[in-house]
Chains A and B, each alone.
Chain A
């Protein structure tokens, strides 16, 4: 069965790049442009295999979205990986403590992104 990944990023170009990278590996990709839209999409789509999420975005940032989503017991098992330009130790630790599954610093390498998503969505 095809697995679906949600990419949450305010850059349409980054969303397209993620779609191209994961699409080549057989993933379906759905998109959201900020944390608010991302949280709404996660609440609406029950079949998501994983989420890739930027940190710096308008309305709701990625860390806030992660913390909000993980407070909902329905999503505790949903793997969320942060995809960002940020590298601060404190932010990485905050995301880890909130339940993030990983941290990738842009620009991402398509083959490594695909390998990471395959690993965390393997059942």
Chain B
């Protein structure tokens, strides 16, 4: 069951990563299968831990310089701040998707790591390797443990969140 749960969660993460970067007008597409992550010179990783009643783990978003600079229209010099915010926004999307599956996720404060040739030591299979059309690499993965017997629904079973990403609700 854990493998199926992970598969369902990975799909949500991948879909929402694509949507997040699309919202920042940066088209990303899946990379070549089997391409070595260590060969890419990742600049920064944003990492956020999370927990819920049924599952717990951490989301990691790693990028080279190009996606960070191309997605930041305000041209901030703080790559640290921006990778943390992107990881936060990605987990926010995943949280909202999980709510419609009956899972309420609580996130920790994001942290950033900087270094060349950063490479994950994975507990589970790497879920996504995404490449930028304009050069550079974005990679996202999620380590997650599920409670024994828990089944993550493949699709939404509850009403979606009242406000979607990018939407404005005025009272």
Contact = CB atoms under 8 A, between A and B. Distances in A.
Counting contact residues on chain B (CB < 8 A from A), the size range is 35 or more
A93 to B, nearest CB: 9
Contacts of B76: 12-13, 16
B133 to A, nearest CB: 19
A20 B85 contact: no
Which 4 residue pairs are nearest across A and B when measured between Cβ atoms?
Answer: A85-B92, A87-B161, A16-B74, A102-B170
Contacts of B72: 13, 17
B15 interface: no
Contacts of B164: 87, 105
B148 to A, nearest CB: 26
Contacts of B82: 11, 13
Nearest to A95: B171
5 contacts: A13-B72, A14-B85, A17-B72, A81-B170, A107-B165
A88 B95 CA distance: 9
Contacts, number: 103
B170 A92 contact: no
B168 A116 contact: yes
Contact of B85 (A13, A86, A101, A102): A13
Contact of A11 (B84, B93, B96, B104): B84
B89 A107 contact: yes
